[in-house]
Amino acid sequence: MRRFYALAMPFWSWDEGRRYVFQLAALTILTIAQVSIPVALNLWNEKLFNALEIRAMDRFVALIGVLGAIIAANVVITSTHLRIKRRLQVAWRQWLTYRVFREWMSGGRQYLLNFVPGDHDNPDGRIAEDIRITTEAALDLAHSLVYSVLLLISFTQILWSLSGPVLTTFGGVQIPLPGHLVWLAILYSGLGAVVAWLLGKPLVRAVDRRQTDEANFRFGLVHARENAMAIALLHGETGERRHFRILFRRVARAWDVQTWALTKLIYFTSTWGTLSMAFPFLVAAPRYIMGTITLGVLMQTAQAFGQMTAALSWPIDNLANVATWRASVERVLRLSEGIDVVAQRIAAGGHDGIQVTKTENAELTFVDVEVADSTGHTQIARFSTTIAKGERVLITGDPGSAVKVFKVVARLWPWGHGTVGLPSGSSIFFMPRRPYLPIGPLRAAIVFPEVASEADDAKLRAALGRVGLDDLVQRLDDVEDWEETLAVGEQQRLGFARLLLHRPGWIFIEEATDGLDRETERRMIEMILAAYPASSIITISHRNTLERYHGRRFNLLRVNGFAVVEDCPLA
């Protein structure tokens, strides 16, 4: 609860969320009004059965009118309560969702999270599903708990007044026991709560395990959909089906474990629920048989006893819901805590990590930089170098180590030691091997991460023409999954079109021409050199055809399990 409070409760003190505090107050008032309905019905029951006992038709007809008023009030109260509660649920979910994905999709944390140990996989499922359960169930459980507490207070008073003093004999002395039915209801419900808690403890672990396995199964299906063409080209459907079966078998096993945990709990709750319908009459009937109370008082007493035990049985009735809520809260908390760890790693400097800072110099500097993996093992040996403004550098050798150099500059790889100085006043543009193309209109895919407008269409058409994608000029408004629609070479040329729309001082190209033929590669590189003659260009490539466009080479040689930087000029 402490961790959940720190994560989710600031919503109620948030500037924009203050208006929801008034809705929460209205919800509390309506909950109190909801409790008044069963209290009114309790009094109505007494008068009804007393009227039936003496066969008073006039009272019976009047009580029908009273019942109509109670029903109308209940409809208004319940429907208003539902609307306000659902408005609060979606507002709280929206706030928490925005908070978590803002922290997740920020500064490369969504990428670095993959390298941090811990149970925080499938962040998409945690954000979309577990946050929904966390906020919706929290309000549902809080409402039902407040309702039960108010119900308990109301019917404890009623049942106490209806119990009457009962004489008990102790040591030959008769001692009056006031409110004996109240004490009996507390003992009855307390016994049930303890047994249900003991039986329900395994349910929390079972629910958590099932939600994790369900999320893994969904992620496997999504991953296969995103790589559908590669699977089809390799005829890998059989292997994928095998993988799906393995994932679903885990889901089925988790389902069976949860079913057995629920079954043990239902053995008790179903027995307890049936007994609870008859038990109030059993404890109140002796006084009616002895003639000390009327039929109306008997019915009122039995109903009051039932309402009080129902309120006290909140832990029994909501144990499964609490288990589901707690499992979702844990999954959201573990994601949030994993993101916090990533943020701390990014912010770390000095001996704790690679410090990347803006400097007043025009050069890109690496000072005593040693790149490690997330476990601390060296990946690139310590090196120091400077890349001047306007210089063209080709990085070859070990592919994994070469990419890590780019990630260090982009603040996506904090593990290691040393300092990287970024030139101030110059924008940096990274061209990955495959450009990210969001699903949507083509113009949005081209200008990503900027926002496209129709005013930019002339520039977009010109850029598409320069990279040889004239056939896409008339498709700027088409909505497609462009990563599936376009071939690899077309995607890479679209990446160059995106570059033409920016004016970067530093361009980092990561094997962004490997899907192009030699002639197209030549045209793209020469186009960029002509468009940005004063920009610095750092390229990762393993094609020797690109050497003539660069004046310097960083060759990463693999020695003793890590890479060593060999800095040499190119003729």
Strand order in the sheet with 416-423: 355-359, 416-423, 364-372, 378-387, 562-569, 552-559, 392-397, 536-540, 506-510, 428-431
CB contact set of 66 (below 8 Å; sequence gap of 6+): 44
Q: By C-alpha distance, which of 553, 548, 487, 483 is closest to 517?
A: 487
Specify the pLDDT at position 14: 62
Angstrom distance (rounded) from CA 211 to CA 377? 34
pLDDT band at 349 (very low <50, low <70, confident <90, very high): very low
Could you read off the pLDDT of 288-335 as tens digits, one per residue?
787 777 777 778 788 788 888 888 888 777 877 888 888 889 989 999
What are residue 350's phi and psi, to 5 degrees? Answer: 65, -135
Task: Name the amino acid, one letter, at 261.
Answer: A
Query: What does the DSSP assignment read for 22-36?
Result: HHHHHHHHHHHHHHH
Q: By C-alpha distance, which of 326, 312, 101, 34 is closest to 201?
A: 326
What are residue 168's phi and psi, to 5 degrees? Answer: -120, 145
Could you read off the pLDDT of 61-105 as tens digits, one per residue?
898 999 999 999 999 999 999 999 999 999 999 999 998 988 888
Specify the pLDDT at position 145: 93
Q: Where are the beta strands (DSSP E) in 235-377?
A: 355-359, 364-372
- The HSE-up count of residue 468 (CA atoms within 13 Å, CB side) is 14
Find where tokens 């002895």 sit.
290
> What are the beta bridge partners of residue 367?
419
Angstrom distance (rounded) from CA 21 to CA 212? 34
* Alpha helices per DSSP H over 117-236: 123-125, 131-163, 180-226, 228-233
Could you read off the pLDDT of 143-156 as tens digits, one per residue?
999 999 998 888 88
pLDDT at 538 over 90: yes
Angstrom distance (rounded) from CA 369 to CA 375? 17
pLDDT at 350 over 60: no
Angstrom distance (rounded) from CA 445 to CA 426? 24
pLDDT at 201 over 80: no
Lookup: tokens for 156:
């404890």
pLDDT band at 444 (very low <50, low <70, confident <90, very high): confident
* Contact predicate 237/231, CB 8 Å: yes
Specify the pLDDT at position 280: 74
Could you read off the pLDDT of 367-423 as tens digits, one per residue?
999 999 878 889 999 999 999 999 999 999 888 888 999 999 988 888 888 999 998
User: Where do the domains of the chain lie, and which CATH numbers do they carry?
Assistant: 2-347 (1.20.1560.10), 350-569 (3.40.50.300)
Lookup: tokens for 470:
């004239």
Angstrom distance (rounded) from CA 354 to CA 8? 32
Lookup: tokens for 144:
């039902």
Specify the pLDDT at position 136: 93
Query: What does the DSSP assignment read for 391-431?
Result: -EEEEEE-HHHHHHHHHHHTT----EEEEEEEETT--EEEE
The DSSP 8-state label assigned to residue 14 in this structure reads S
pLDDT band at 8 (very low <50, low <70, confident <90, very high): confident
Whole-structure pTM value:
0.70
Could you read off the pLDDT of 459-514 as tens digits, one per residue?
889 999 999 999 998 998 888 888 888 888 999 999 999 999 888 899 999 988 88
Query: What does the DSSP assignment read for 234-274?
Result: TT-HHHHHHHHHHHHHHHHHHHHHHHHHHHHHHHHHHHHHH
Lookup: tokens for 48:
């009804």
* Contact predicate 346/408, CB 8 Å: no
The percentage of residues in the chain with a pLDDT greater than 90, rounded to a whole number, is 28
Angstrom distance (rounded) from CA 493 to CA 512? 9
The DSSP 8-state label assigned to residue 452 in this structure reads P
Least confident of 104-108, 180-184, 274-278: 274-278
Find where tokens 């079109």 sit.
497
Angstrom distance (rounded) from CA 330 to CA 119? 10
**How high does pLDDT run on average in the chain?**
85
* Interaxial angle between packed helices 180-226 and 295-312, expressed in degrees from 0 to 180 and rounded to the nearest 10: 40
pLDDT band at 172 (very low <50, low <70, confident <90, very high): low
Angstrom distance (rounded) from CA 437 to CA 483? 6
What are residue 245's phi and psi, to 5 degrees? Answer: -65, -40
More confident residue, 510 or 173: 510
